[in-house]
Amino acid sequence: MTLPGFRTDLSYANELDDADPLGSVRGQFVMPTDDAGNETLYLVGNSLGVPTRRSLEYVNNELTRWGSVGVRGHFESDLAWTTYQDTMAEQMAALVGASSDEVVIMNSLTVNLHLMLISFYDPTPKRHKILIEAHAFPSDHFAVESQIRQRGLDPTTSMVFVTPRDGEETLRNDDILAAIAEHGDELATILLPGVQYYTGQWLDMAAITAAGHAVGAKVGFDLAHAVGNVPVELDRWGVDFAAWCTYKYLNSGPGGVAGAFVNQRHLLDSSLPKLTGWWGTNKATRFQMINAFDAIPTAESWSLSCGPVLLFAALRGSLDVISDAGGLPAMRAKSVLQIEYMDRLIDDVLAGRIRSLTPRPIAERGCQFALEVIAPAADGRAVFEALEAANVSCDWRYPNVIRAAPVPLYNSFADIHRFVAILDELLP
């Protein structure tokens, strides 16, 4: 326990906010409002983060520059569009525990999952299975299914699943490791989430990677709900590949540009299958228009197209705010306190009416709570709608969960207090 003298009154939340070193960061964000202009209680950064003022400024700068210098913008200034993403490489790499050579910012998440599976799912007659979770995010499921079909294989035999035990909502790490061992030398690739989108469970990525490698499989993670939320050490854990979107905890805006990671031991492997484009070839000769692919010796060789500069600019604004705030260590330190605070408020104020499916131990979760309404005579979906009507943004995920995430960059302890107080009033 890290919250001495815990109390349920608002003044305790205010005391925590007064002591919060990240308290002023909220001022760098534009918070949504309702139609009457009242600030929304925004707890849905797990789905779409809010814009930083800097993102608005940076995007506007590039639009203005486009209008003033036209095509010269590709090469002129420190922020030339052809190399714009280089300015963010270090920041992005730090968030996933990688070197900047191992990270590329491109496309969207599902596209990057496909590009990574092209390279890291190389089935043989014997070793042809991909292991994912039974309740994977649909896009991940579809990507895997279609990759298997694309190789002339059958998902009913080549796609294998880990699932929670009967009566349980979350996965047991031991069950995942047992499934990996069970499929053994038939397992080509493992694709699991860092943090599960529905329950908020943070998997033991290091142990899964080691177990996958022990049977000779490639191991990749979808970091959609992990990046900017929990500490990730892709390089140290030896993960083969990863992909993530940036519009959730990295606040890059709807449809923002995504990231991908390729472990350094694979970067120079020219035998890896790969889909290629002109943005992956040697920058020094790219514009000589020679049709001989000369792979950039970094993860950038997976790049296909000239980059979406307006999306880069939006992301860069947020990454600058994150860096100035002290990066993930500072965010996670606050998040750990917020998680405990919200747990204890739910225990004290909402016991018997709300249950959290998210694992309780801090090493198994990020900032997202998966809340189930268990109050007799209350309907979860109706409670969610009443929250929306009360100017609270969280989200509903079928079949039965209200997801709410206090995001340390812009949510206060008072926000958490208000959320629980509103639920207390709404619930019978």
Count the alpha carbons within 13 Å of 414 in the hemisphere toward its beta carbon: 11
> Would you give the distance in Å from CA 43 to the centre of its chain?
16
Among 140, 240, 300, 364, binds ligand PLP (CB under 6 A): 140
Tokens representing 364 are 């198994």
Measured from the CB atom, the residue of 12 and 197 that comes closer to ligand PLP is 197
Task: Name the segment binding ligand PLP (CB under 6 A); options: 116-124, 212-220, 222-230, 302-310.
Answer: 222-230
Q: Under a CB-based contact definition with an 8 Å cutoff, are residues 13 and 416 in contact?
A: yes
279 belongs to the binding site for ligand PLP (CB under 6 A): no
Whole-number minimum distance, CB 110 to ligand PLP, in Å?
Answer: 3
Q: How far is CA 213 from CA 84, 239, 284, in A?
A: 35, 9, 36
SS3 state at 406: coil
222 belongs to the binding site for ligand PLP (CB under 6 A): yes
365 belongs to the binding site for ligand PLP (CB under 6 A): no
Peptide bond into 399 cis (omega under 30): yes
The residues, ordered by sequence, that sit 6+ positions from 52 with a Cβ below 8 Å of its Cβ are 28, 29, 30, 251, 317, 318, 320, 321
Task: Name the segment binding ligand PLP (CB under 6 A); options: 134-142, 259-267, 370-378, 381-389.
Answer: 134-142
* Alpha-carbon gap, residue 286 to 283, rounded angstroms: 5
Q: How far is CA 71 from CA 79, 82, 290, 404, in A?
A: 13, 11, 22, 44
Measured from the CB atom, the residue of 28 and 170 that comes closer to ligand PLP is 170
Q: Which has the closest alpha carbon to 412: 35, 9, 39, 41?
A: 41
CA angle 85, 91, 92 (to 5 degrees): 70
Task: Name the segment binding ligand PLP (CB under 6 A); options: 58-66, 88-96, 105-113, 229-237.
Answer: 105-113
137 belongs to the binding site for ligand PLP (CB under 6 A): yes
Whole-number minimum distance, CB 118 to ligand PLP, in Å?
Answer: 16
Q: Which helix (H) or strand (E) holds 222?
A: strand 218-222
Whole-number minimum distance, CB 199 to ligand PLP, in Å?
Answer: 12
282 belongs to the binding site for ligand PLP (CB under 6 A): no
Among 22, 109, 239, 426, binds ligand PLP (CB under 6 A): 109
Tokens representing 148 are 């298997």
Q: How far is CA 87 from CA 144, 281, 413, in A?
A: 32, 19, 33
Whole-number minimum distance, CB 92 to ligand PLP, in Å?
Answer: 16
225 belongs to the binding site for ligand PLP (CB under 6 A): yes
316 belongs to the binding site for ligand PLP (CB under 6 A): no
301 belongs to the binding site for ligand PLP (CB under 6 A): no
139 belongs to the binding site for ligand PLP (CB under 6 A): yes
> Would you give the distance in Å from CA 336 to the centre of its chain?
17
Measured from the CB atom, the residue of 19 and 134 that comes closer to ligand PLP is 134
Task: Name the segment binding ligand PLP (CB under 6 A); options: 72-80, 169-177, 219-227, 270-278.
Answer: 219-227
245 belongs to the binding site for ligand PLP (CB under 6 A): yes
Whole-number minimum distance, CB 115 to ligand PLP, in Å?
Answer: 12
Q: In 44-126, where do the E strands start and end?
A: 103-105
Measured from the CB atom, the residue of 249 and 341 that comes closer to ligand PLP is 249
Q: Is the dihedral of CA 164, 168, 170, 172 positive or negative?
A: negative
How is residue 346 annotated by DSSP? H
CA angle 153, 203, 326 (to 5 degrees): 125
Task: Name the segment binding ligand PLP (CB under 6 A); options: 107-115, 164-172, 271-279, 367-375.
Answer: 107-115
Among 28, 91, 99, 110, binds ligand PLP (CB under 6 A): 110
How is residue 51 annotated by DSSP? P
Whole-number minimum distance, CB 135 to ligand PLP, in Å?
Answer: 11
Tokens representing 45 are 């950064």
Whole-number minimum distance, CB 101 to ligand PLP, in Å?
Answer: 24
Whole-number minimum distance, CB 119 to ligand PLP, in Å?
Answer: 18
Residues that bind ligand PLP (CB under 6 A): 108-110, 137, 139-140, 193, 197, 222, 224-225, 245
